[in-house]
Structure 1
Amino acid sequence: MNSSISATVAVDQDAEQLRALGYTSNFERSMSLWQNFALGFTYLSPVVGVYTLFGLCLAAGGPPMFWSYLLVGFGQMLVCLIFCEVVSQYPISGGVYPWARRLVGKKWAWMVGWIYAISLCVTIAAVALGAGPYIASLLGFESSPVTNTWVAMVLTAIATVLNLSGTKLLARVAMFGFLCELVGALLIGGYLLIFERHQPLSVLFDTFDISIDGAYWPAFLTASLAGMFLYYGFEACGDVAEETPNPSRQVPKAMRMTIWIGGAASIFAALALILAVPDMVAVISGKDKDPMSTIFGAAFGPVGSRVVMAVITVSFVSCVLSLQASASRLLYAYARDEMLMGSNVLKKLSPTTHVPTAALVVCGVLPAIIVCVGFYLQNAIALVVSFAAIGIYLAFQMIVGGALYARLRGWRPKGQFNMGRWGWIVNIAALCYGLFAIVNMSWPRTPDAPWYVNYGIVLVGAIVILVGIVYMTLFRPYEKGRAPASDAWRNR
């Protein structure tokens, strides 16, 4: 009885805190700390992140690419700490959009939400498409553009149905995905390290004479994309802040756990894979174009490889589920503040499942359209998919930059998590890291290719931003809602 009363009091306190921030909510606060963390972990998804780019980045930078996981993890932890301060004071659904609204203002928030929403929808499509070869291998048929497209469509539909079933099911599936992925990563990595180790530890420092214009560091920066395309997902913990009890304390903790545990699992998986490569020279020379298949085929055989593919499949499903949940909460937050066409529909929560039904459907339909377009315009879609990661980093840095702007205007974080005097140092370091990461990801690396290939990511990014500015200028969505804005430093 006492625990029930305590839980009711806690929920009431959370509701009162949300009202003080200018909102009321009918979300169901049923997501525990570990379930909130599991959402961020499956979004980050060590298996999906490491396995997707492992072969390309190993060939580009050799075994020392391993160190990029540590360096990028440190940089993203700086970003994560800034997010922790902001969400602790503003535990509002939608994550980066409401944070930007409170730190800077309505126009800045609209653009952050626009860039992040497009990036998330493209990422959902990209992850769903990436699952195709693994699911094809699991089910015993050949991977092809047609089968990959169908797999992506079915996977997106399954994720939509699961998300529509409510917060409790989302939390349970995320927790199941986390357990499967973590156990799978540890078991697969442990087996490879114990029984299939073909390289010494010293190989992590061997560049195999890789160089670009006579230097190794440009090759290492290229290979560091392995880490840069991996370490995001912790922000998803904040997207469902209104579905988590005591979010000011629990969400920042879940965010940091996502980086620590997800990063450790990723580093372990990458180490095991590098040391299990039978012929490193063949990978670097391009003779072995798919070292993942080579490693798994040699280590586990046909039957064991299917078990591994099953684990990878669970990882992809849970990753799509978490991405879609995050995107739908962003759309919901946008609509609640009347910042988007169709807001009256998008801001409605289901009376039975307490989730934003229309927003979830949109976050299923848009990625499905991107998947279909990608089938017919594969070269063009590759550029759009590449922009997705940079778009997420750009949205992140708009929050980090917004936090620094707010500090300069007098903001002092008042949440249960804050870094005190260290906040300034971490904020500046996080901004420097993020800007460097964006430049590194968009830097042209194929001088012989046409300009639109070299600068395609920058071009797509410019188009996304330009369209957002045009929409914002013509329709002025930021003038419609009356929710609080720019109050982080006004009400200090």
Structure 2
Amino acid sequence: MPLDVPSVSDEERLQQLGYTQVLARKMSGFANFAVSFTIISVLSGCMTLYGYGLRTGGPAMLTWGWIAVGAMTLLVGLAMAEVCSSYPTSAGLYFWAHRMAPARSRAAWAWFTGWFNVLGQVAVTAGIDFGAASFLNAYLDLQFGYAATPGHTMILFGAILLLHALLNTFGVRLVALLNSVSVWWHLLGVTVIVGVLALVPDRHQSTSFVFGEFVNQTGWTSGLYVGLIALLMAQYTFTGYDASAHMTEETNDAAVAGPRGIVRSIWVSWIAGFVLLAGLTYAIQSYDGAVGSATGVPPAQIFMDALGAAGGKALLLIVIVAQLFCGMASVTANSRMIYAFSRDGALPFSRVWHRINPGTRTPTNAVWLAAGGAFVLGLPYLINTTAYAAVTSIATIGLYIAYVIPTYLRLRKGDAFERGPWHLGRFSRPIGIVSVAWVAVITVLFMLPQVHPVTVETFNYAPIAVVAVLGFAGVWWLASARRWFLNPDHPR
């Protein structure tokens, strides 16, 4: 049954959903797409986990894994987009869960969906900006001798988060402008990188190598296991497109622009990422040299080996700028989720986090919480060599659980679900079933150990982070929140 959304304004639809327009509604449909595309950022996710992929599955899994994961992600995104069209609010996923869950348990579904979303978004912000710090450290090492050490990387990580918090403090118009620039930077950047790597080097790898070479440097003996955990690179990259949903309160024609932003950001990234990964892998001059690069960043070594010092550093700068755009957009989306969740009292000190800056009409305090939480999540890198892969696992698990809960509830609701103006028609149910099954698989998969033997230095601490957050949310729910969360009769 379709909703009569087109006949009401964005503000009226938001009021129907129980919220008053507070944020500035100044984003176009393109700007909404640009936020999600920028957070997906193939020049961030693909590049920062490329070294992980070289050791875990090698070229075969980098290419075929990307194709397979991209297809499954598009299905997850289509299912999300349909629900977004019905409920265009920055509360996003947890609000969707509340509207579609059975009456007796709807607040609980919303509560845990929101907490998984917060966990995933903080982790993805940490992953993006930590990756940017690693690439920036590699560049500074090559250019100025600023050694690529864990301490130096953490200093740069903190500085980048500070920069992104400041940029988001200045208002949505600046962020929207930078995100629009970011789209073209990413597309042109991929074109330049792949074009240069295709034309300049005298030697390239064979097509059989790029699509068929399987590499296992994890210590595990099962090729199947290694191939499955290799999917983390692609699945982590395809995160953050819920930003289009969280920005709907700031987007014009939100019931259509939001869903389009989700779907368009995925398929454009799918194409661009495949081109980038293939171009980079064809250009490998020394596989062992790339994996064991002194910079700690295999793509940087591939650039240097293929193009020389000057050309390699130039391409590295293209990647770093794209990663900085990506991190800025991630802080934007993260802060909107924190703002919406705290508006409903679901975070400690919620009154602080949902305050709006009267000058910019942005949730400034939520911006700083997003940046601070990301920094804390990155601290284990100082003692754990696989910490970055763990952070990306946390981001992927947290976000995809939050992504698929509304889809699961939409399936349970069946024909009683009220469709918005953008919907999947008769394909809604099969797409939803496949999406739920896929997320169930990857949730288990990315909690498993990535390196053998498992030690303190190589332990995948993703399960600990997920259980800790889930445990905290569960205790708070049982002790207090179940009585007041999203309950108008019992305000907090």
1:18 maps onto 2:14 in alignment: yes
Q: How far apart, in 2, do the equivalents of 1:273 and 1:358 lie?
A: 40
Q: How far apart, in 1, do the equivalents of 2:115 and 2:353 lie?
A: 15
Q: Which of 40, 44, 58 pairs up with 1:44?
A: 40
Q: How far apart, in 1, do the equivalents of 2:41 and 2:264 lie?
A: 13
Q: Is the 8 A contact 1:11 1:29 kept in 2?
A: no
Deviation at 1:249, TM superposition (A): 0.7
Provide the alpha-carbon RMSD of the alignment: 2.8
Q: Where does residue 274 of structure 1 map in the other structure? A: 281
Q: How far apart, in 2, do the equivalents of 1:478 and 1:194 lie?
A: 64
Deviation at 1:188, TM superposition (A): 0.4
1:359 maps onto 2:356 in alignment: no
Q: How far apart, in 2, do the equivalents of 1:385 and 1:414 lie?
A: 33
TM-score with structure 2 setting the length = 0.88
1:428 maps onto 2:427 in alignment: no
Q: How far apart, in 1, do the equivalents of 2:40 and 2:187 lie?
A: 12
Q: Where does residue 84 of structure 1 map in the other structure? A: 81
473 and 318 in structure 1: CA distance in 2 versus 1, 3 angstrom threshold: same
Q: Is the 8 A contact 1:103 1:402 kept in 2?
A: yes
C-alpha offsets along residues 372-424 of structure 1, whole Å, 9 cap, x if unaligned? x43654469554553232222222232332222333xx433420111122111
Deviation at 1:201, TM superposition (A): 1.8
How many corresponding residue pairs? Answer: 472
Q: How far apart, in 1, do the equivalents of 2:483 and 2:270 lie?
A: 37
Q: How does 1:206-245 map to 2 (within 5 A)?
A: 206-207=212-213, 216-245=223-252
Deviation at 1:257, TM superposition (A): 1.0
Q: Where does residue 125 of structure 1 map in the other structure? A: 126
Aligned to 1:338, the other structure's residue is in SS state coil
Q: Where does residue 489 of structure 1 map in the other structure? A: none
Moved more, 419-428 or 194-203: 194-203
Deviation at 1:202, TM superposition (A): 2.4
Deviation at 1:341, TM superposition (A): 3.3
Moved more, 175-184 or 343-352: 343-352
Aligned to 2:425, the other structure's residue is in SS state coil
Q: Where does residue 63 of structure 1 map in the other structure? A: 59
Moved more, 473-482 or 28-37: 473-482
Q: How far apart, in 1, do the equivalents of 2:356 and 2:480 lie?
A: 25
Q: Where does residue 167 of structure 2 map in the other structure? A: 162
Q: Which of 133, 155, 158 pairs up with 1:150?
A: 155
Moved more, 323-332 or 410-419: 410-419
Unmatched tracts of structure 2, length 5 or more: 1-5
Q: How far apart, in 2, do the equivalents of 1:47 and 1:309 lie?
A: 10
Q: Where does residue 200 of structure 1 map in the other structure? A: 206
1:326 maps onto 2:323 in alignment: no
Q: How far apart, in 2, do the equivalents of 1:479 and 1:188 lie?
A: 53
Moved more, 427-436 or 98-107: 98-107
Deviation at 1:368, TM superposition (A): 3.1
Percent identity over paired residues: 25
191 and 328 in structure 1: CA distance in 2 versus 1, 3 angstrom threshold: same
Aligned to 2:408, the other structure's residue is in SS state helix
210 and 451 in structure 1: CA distance in 2 versus 1, 3 angstrom threshold: closer
Moved more, 250-259 or 387-396: 387-396
Moved more, 209-218 or 127-136: 209-218
Q: How far apart, in 2, do the equivalents of 1:81 and 1:401 lie?
A: 13
Q: Where does residue 7 of structure 1 map in the other structure? A: none
Deviation at 1:334, TM superposition (A): 1.2
Q: How far apart, in 2, do the equivalents of 1:11 and 1:180 lie?
A: 37
Q: How far apart, in 2, do the equivalents of 1:176 and 1:370 lie?
A: 29
287 and 64 in structure 1: CA distance in 2 versus 1, 3 angstrom threshold: farther
Deviation at 1:433, TM superposition (A): 1.2
Q: Which of 176, 179, 185 pairs up with 1:180?
A: 185
Deviation at 1:16, TM superposition (A): 0.9
Q: Where does residue 267 of structure 2 map in the other structure? A: 260
Q: How far apart, in 2, do the equivalents of 1:146 and 1:218 lie?
A: 33
Q: Is the 8 A contact 1:22 1:483 kept in 2?
A: no
Aligned to 1:23, the other structure's residue is in SS state coil
Q: Is the 8 A contact 1:134 1:309 kept in 2?
A: yes
Q: Where does residue 374 of structure 1 map in the other structure? A: 380
1:303 maps onto 2:316 in alignment: no
Output the amino acid matched with 2:426.
Answer: R
Aligned to 1:169, the other structure's residue is in SS state helix
Aligned to 1:348, the other structure's residue is in SS state coil
C-alpha offsets along residues 282-309 of structure 1, whole Å, 9 cap, x if unaligned? 6689999854233210233222223222
Aligned to 1:143, the other structure's residue is in SS state coil
216 and 377 in structure 1: CA distance in 2 versus 1, 3 angstrom threshold: closer
Q: How far apart, in 1, do the equivalents of 2:330 and 2:233 lie?
A: 19
1:316 maps onto 2:323 in alignment: yes
C-alpha offsets along residues 210-247 of structure 1, whole Å, 9 cap, x if unaligned? 69987643332232222111111221111110100001
Q: Where does residue 70 of structure 2 map in the other structure? A: 73
Output the amino acid matched with 1:21.
Answer: L
Q: How far apart, in 1, do the equivalents of 2:122 and 2:292 lie?
A: 35
299 and 403 in structure 1: CA distance in 2 versus 1, 3 angstrom threshold: same
Q: How far apart, in 2, do the equivalents of 1:60 and 1:395 lie?
A: 27
Deviation at 1:207, TM superposition (A): 3.2
Q: How far apart, in 2, do the equivalents of 1:208 and 1:376 lie?
A: 31
C-alpha offsets along residues 238-287 of structure 1, whole Å, 9 cap, x if unaligned? 11101000011111111111011111111110000111112347668999
Q: How far apart, in 2, do the equivalents of 1:154 and 1:284 lie?
A: 27
Q: How far apart, in 2, do the equivalents of 1:478 and 1:319 lie?
A: 38
Q: Is the 8 A contact 1:58 1:223 kept in 2?
A: no
Output the amino acid matched with 1:435.
Answer: A
Unmatched tracts of structure 1, length 5 or more: 1-9, 485-492
Q: How far apart, in 1, do the equivalents of 2:321 and 2:457 lie?
A: 36
Q: Is the 8 A contact 2:236 2:393 kept in 1?
A: no
